[in-house]
Chain A
Amino acid sequence: AAGVIQSPRHLIKEKRETATLKCYPIPRHDTVYWYQQGPGQDPQFLISFYEKMQSDKGSIPDRFSAQQFSDYHSELNMSSLELGDSALYFCASSSLGPGEGTQYFGPGTRLLVL
């Protein structure tokens, strides 16, 4: 079965640079969620989108922005990167709208900020 696709899988950036992470949800899933997982930590919710509109917002820094496109893929844009942004970034998708379906996670993007 098709799963959530994330790209790139690994990313190395310098401080103050920008990064763009992409997420392609499971086909026919309409809701996308972004989570950040620091080393040895549990995933923390950042933001979610349903039908291309932001549906919920968590602890996402103002330096980060995200959007969902007409084909339902989503991009997380990160600017002025800091060392503390180094983490695993997961995208999850679900069907039936926000909060109604099981969230299935992608393999993640490992971001390292030097």
Chain B
Amino acid sequence: GESVGLHLPTLSVQEGDNSIINCAYSNSASDYFIWYKQESGKGPQFIIDIRSNMDKRQGQRVTVLLNKTVKHLSLQIAATQPGDSAVYFCAEMGQGGSEKLVFGKGTKLTVNP
């Protein structure tokens, strides 16, 4: 079945530390993965994406790693800031040609000053 899940529901880090948020997906047919950040009462905000033909992609302070062998996705945030506090969702697309996003359960990141 379709399932995108996160290993940890909550993550607490100190300001300035690096954060790593993990995600396991079950459908090897998915070919597009996205990380979204959702602040309380707001819509999911696009952070970074990666296609299945890549294993790493970097953005500004963020890096996404894709390990297709173990069906694992991670989001690394460098020098985490209080403004990074939010719920982070991984999402996958491409199951059976569908364009719908299948979201994981979300990890709540709290950055302590």
Contacts and interface: CB of A to CB of B under 8 A. Distances in A.
B interface bracket (residues with beta carbon within 8 Å of A): 20 to 34
Given A42-B105, A99-B93, A102-B49, A107 B100 contact: no
Interface residues of A, number: 25
Nearest to B106: A42
Contacts of B102: 45
B43 A55 contact: no
A42 B6 CA distance: 11
A27 interface: no
Nearest to A90: B43
B97 interface: yes
A33 B100 contact: yes
B99 A55 contact: yes
B70 to A, nearest CB: 22
B13 to A, nearest CB: 22
A99 to B, nearest CB: 3
A66 B13 CA distance: 42
Interface of B: 32, 34, 36, 41-46, 49, 89, 93-94, 97-106
Interface of A: 4, 31, 33, 35, 42-45, 48, 55-56, 58, 90, 92, 98-100, 102-108, 110
The 5 closest A-B pairs by CB, nearest first: A99-B99, A105-B43, A42-B103, A98-B99, A45-B100
